[in-house]
Chain A
Amino acid sequence: MMRKLAKPAAVLAAFALVFSLSACGEKKVTTYEPGKYSGAPVAAPWDSPQFGGKQAQWEAAIQARTQGQNDYSRIPAK
């Protein structure tokens, strides 16, 4: 009795395995494409009354300001 049932059970299990793993070989089709910005344009920071479009001048001002946060350049470490 058990032997008679073993063969159909094995066939059934093989079919189940094939069906359950059939999607594993599929390639991922979702691709992310960044959207196009829909808002208003952003002015460059140097396009301001203070810098009048002079990028180098703005960058120098920001670099100096940023470096001002360094304690060790203001007060050298012993």
Chain B
Amino acid sequence: MARMKFICDANRCIECNGCVTACKNANEVPWGVNRRRVVTLNDGAPGERSISVACMHCSDAPCMAVCPVDCFVRSEDGVVLHDKDQCIGCGYCLYACPFGAPQFPQAGAFGVRGKMDKCTFCQGGPGKASAEEQFSKYGQNRIAEGKLPLCAEMCSTKALLAGDGDVIANIFRERVTIRGKGAEVIGWATAYGTPKAGAAPAATEGKK
């Protein structure tokens, strides 16, 4: 069974924000909500690195643990989804998430925090509502069409990989082997579990 994951290859990301734009456009994400964003480390300094960050669909998701109304669920293919009909917009998940994935739209004239919104791995959401209602709540359901999240499919340098964790880990491992550097993956331990359960691909000697 596939276990859906993202990996962002910091050696390939060129900070083009194509993933961010693709996500916002495809899912018609409201103004002020960024399901995905590009973070640059050591900006302007030699050796700066950028990574595209969204919900990492953690194997042991902290958001699920802290939710007081238990609105989070893991789908059969390992995607962490949440039911917006149950969400009370408390914001605990935002504090718990190490990636800053949960987003809260401004609802109403007084800036009242709305229900949480986050990356759904382009898999829609829970419930059997009509396609239009599902789209307005959660965005596209590309996974049901046998496609991958649009952010990864639109990535021009293929820095952002999405899909079955084992398959994308192998793709990443092959890259590291061929180029001979860049084995570190930010957020690996949290998203993929403990190093024992899902060890990060180790750098091996390869062609440079």
| Residues of A bordering B, CB below 8 Å | 32, 34-48, 50-51, 58-59, 61-63, 65-67, 69-72, 77
- Please tell me if the beta carbons of B70 and A61 are within 8 angstroms of each other in the complex: no
Total interface residues on B, CB under 8 Å, equals: 43
**Segment with Cβ contacts to A, from B32-40, B96-104, B143-151, B182-190:** B143-151
Given contacts A65-B163, A69-B163, A69-B171, contact A45 B76 (CB under 8 A): yes
**Chain A residues whose C-beta falls within 8 Å of the C-beta of B27 in the assembled complex:** none
| Residues of B bordering A, CB below 8 Å | 1-2, 64-65, 67, 69-73, 75-77, 81-83, 85-86, 123, 125-128, 141, 143-148, 152, 158, 161-164, 167-168, 171, 174-175, 178, 207
**Chain A residues whose C-beta falls within 8 Å of the C-beta of B174 in the assembled complex:** 70, 72
Query: In the complex, which of the residues A38, A47, A65, A67 contacts B83, with contact meaning CB atoms closer than 8 Å?
Result: A38
Query: With the chains together, A61 CA to B164 CA distance in Å?
Result: 12
Q: Quote the shortest CB–CB distance from B169 to chain A (angstroms).
A: 11
- Please tell me if the beta carbons of B70 and A44 are within 8 angstroms of each other in the complex: no
Query: With the chains together, A36 CA to B83 CA distance in Å?
Result: 13
Given contacts A62-B164, A69-B163, A71-B158, contact A40 B64 (CB under 8 A): no
Query: With the chains together, A51 CA to B143 CA distance in Å?
Result: 11
For B152, the closest partner residue in chain A by CB is: A69
**Chain A residues whose C-beta falls within 8 Å of the C-beta of B75 in the assembled complex:** 42, 44-45
Q: Quote the shortest CB–CB distance from A72 to chain B (angstroms).
A: 6
Query: With the chains together, A67 CA to B164 CA distance in Å?
Result: 10
- Please tell me if the beta carbons of B81 and A42 are within 8 angstroms of each other in the complex: yes
Q: Quote the shortest CB–CB distance from B45 to chain A (angstroms).
A: 28
- Can you sample 8 A-B contacts with CB below 8 Å? A39-B126, A43-B144, A48-B141, A62-B164, A63-B167, A65-B163, A66-B162, A77-B207
**Chain A residues whose C-beta falls within 8 Å of the C-beta of B175 in the assembled complex:** 72
- Please tell me if the beta carbons of B146 and A65 are within 8 angstroms of each other in the complex: yes
**Chain A residues whose C-beta falls within 8 Å of the C-beta of B64 in the assembled complex:** 34
**Chain B residues whose C-beta falls within 8 Å of the C-beta of A63 in the assembled complex:** 2, 163-164, 167
Query: With the chains together, A34 CA to B60 CA distance in Å?
Result: 11
Query: In the complex, which of the residues A35, A46, A58, A77 contacts B178, with contact meaning CB atoms closer than 8 Å?
Result: A77
- Please tell me if the beta carbons of B146 and A58 are within 8 angstroms of each other in the complex: yes
Q: Which 4 A-B pairs have the closest CB atoms?
A: A39-B83, A66-B163, A61-B146, A48-B144
Given contacts A37-B70, A38-B70, contact A32 B65 (CB under 8 A): yes
